């Protein structure tokens, strides 16, 4: 009996703490809770735990790289576009005739290629035809339009809608009929078919003039009314591509023998 007494008086191991009871069992469990060891405060993990560990993974995900690359690419493209516009406007100031001539040549070339590939559906490109069409844009269209618009702004000095209408009438009913005839005649001659100049003009000149009026009259009114004279050829170039496709089709349409 005496030897068993120390075993009875020895402290028993305390079980792991359980959730605090509620209700009528609270008073009974209070001594047990008081005797239970208090766990040490858990130190927060360095970096904010699981959420903090996920943040670097999210930042390094491929989707973020794609978004960043797309955003950077768009900004770079926008910067290059603005840089090109600034360079083009500077070229217009320093070399107006040469800049407009090269621009017209490129638009003529694009218009003829579109006509051959899309409208004519040619199995093979006629490079001689494209070269001649481009050459006329360089030596005829660009320089002539530069001189004409400059002269027109000096001839009609009235501002506002009345001035725009006056320039429009002179441009579409005096300049355009002559210019279309000269362009077609030179193109047919340069392509080695001078005998077809008169038949070509009889067949295509008036229909080309009607198409010109339908496309250019609404645009040129806005051009003469809103756009400064220095930029009028540049503004016209936005419509010139569509017009060059039409003009190439008309100029190269087979002449029907009478």
pLDDT digits 0-9 by tens, 127-173: 999 999 999 999 999 999 999 999 999 999 998 999 999 999 999 99
Mean pLDDT of 195-200: 94
Query: What does the alpha-carbon distance between residue 56 and residue 76 come to, in Å, rounded to a whole number?
Result: 27
CA distance 157 to 112: 36
C-alpha 117: how far from chain center: 23
Tell me, rounded to whole angstroms, the distance of Cα 1 from its chain centroid.
Answer: 101
116: which DSSP letter?
I
Q: Which two tokens stand for residue 6?
A: 């120390």
- Output the CA torsion sign for 159, 160, 161, 162: negative
Please give the Cα distance from 212 to 205 (Å, whole number). 10
Q: DSSP character for 115? A: I
Mean pLDDT for all residues in the chain: 81
The pLDDT value recorded for residue 25 is 42
Residue 4 has pLDDT above 80, yes or no: no
Distances (CA, A) of 169 to 153, 176, 211, 225: 13, 10, 16, 13
Contact (Cβ atoms closer than 8 angstroms) between residue 247 and residue 216: no
Global pTM value: 0.68
């Amino acid at each position: 009996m005496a030897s068993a007494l120390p075993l009875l008086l020895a402290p028993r191991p305390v079980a792991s703490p359980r959730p605090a009871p509620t209700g009528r069992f609270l008073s009974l469990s209070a001594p047990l809770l008081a005797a239970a060891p208090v766990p040490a405060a858990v130190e927060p993990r360095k970096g904010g735990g699981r959420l903090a560990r996920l943040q670097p993974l999210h930042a390094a995900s491929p989707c973020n790289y794609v978004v960043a690359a797309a955003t950077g690419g768009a900004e770079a493209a926008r910067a290059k576009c603005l840089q090109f516009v600034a360079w083009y406007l500077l070229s217009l100031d320093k070399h107006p005739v040469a800049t407009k001539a090269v621009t017209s040549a490129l638009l003529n070339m694009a218009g003829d290629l579109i006509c051959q590939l899309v409208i004519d559906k040619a199995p093979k490109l006629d490079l001689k035809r494209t070269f001649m069409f481009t050459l006329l844009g360089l030596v005829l269209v660009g320089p002539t339009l530069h001189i004409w618009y400059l002269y027109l702004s000096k001839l009609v000095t009235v501002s506002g809608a009345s001035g725009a209408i006056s320039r429009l009438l002179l441009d579409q009913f005096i300049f355009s009929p002559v210019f279309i005839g000269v362009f077609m005649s030179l193109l047919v001659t340069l392509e080695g078919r001078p005998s077809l100049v008169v038949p070509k003009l009889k067949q295509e000149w008036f229909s080309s003039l009607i198409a010109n009026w339908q496309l250019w009259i609404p645009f040129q009114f806005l051009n003469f009314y809103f756009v400064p004279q220095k930029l009028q050829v540049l503004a016209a170039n936005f419509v010139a591509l569509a017009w060059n496709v039409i003009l190439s089709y008309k100029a190269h349409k087979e002449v029907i023998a009478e």
